[in-house]
Structure formats: C-alpha cells, structure tokens
Amino acid sequence: MIENQYLTRIYYRDIDQMGVVYYNRYFEYFEAARTELLRSIGLEVTLIEQRGYYLPVVSAHCDYHRSAQFDDEITIISRIDSFMGARLRIDYQATLISDDRLLASGYTEHCFTNKDGKPTRPPGFFRSRIREHLNG
C-alpha cells in the first residue's frame, strides 16, 4: 500500500451558509492530497505531464460522515492499495485532527491519456514507480 497524509485547515472560503464545509470542497482536498501522494513517491504531476501523459478523473465518489467547521484542522489520508491495468484508483479519508473523527471518505479513479486526450497505457516509468512502492 502507498499512503500519504495531507494536512490543511478549514478557511472561511470553505464553508457554506450553515457554517460547515461545503460538500464539493472535499473533492478539492482529495485533489491536493492526491498531488502530494504522487509527489511523495517521486511522481510529480508536472513531470508526468511534461512526458506527455495525463491522469484525468473518470469517476469520483465521496461519503460524508460528519461536518467540519471554520478553523478546524483536518488530515486527508490518500492511499493506493493496488495498481493493475490502465486505471488508477486512489482512496481518501478526511479526519478531524483534534479527535480523529472521520469526516468524509471517498475515491477517485483515473485513466491515462496522451496530450491529445486519447486513452493510452500507463507509461513504464509510472508503472515501475508505483510497483516499487507497493512492493517495498
């Protein structure tokens, strides 16, 4: 398993009229966590793109368990449990740092495309880096 923790704070821009995190912000937290997860194993998104590959989201899901509020500190744990084929699934759990309560959980699935947006096989450098960290 490949895992990374991303820490952030809830800002005023993140909350809705009821004073809780607006539901779609969790997908933005997931995106930041995903970027840091890949960076932590040497797969910076900019380098992947410079080599001509993209990882668009083809599916996204989020379950909401509890509300977070302004100024709360949260952790988003992102995880890759396996990697086979042309799709990559990353799972997420957002928790409140103060008491480790689960706020939201979900996943994103990604495919690989070339610069023209056409589906392609995952590049060798990506496959080997993921496998190295899954098996290491």
Residues acting as catalytic residues = 16
Residue 20 identity: V
Yes or no: say if 20 and 70 are a contact pair by the CB < 8 Å rule.
no
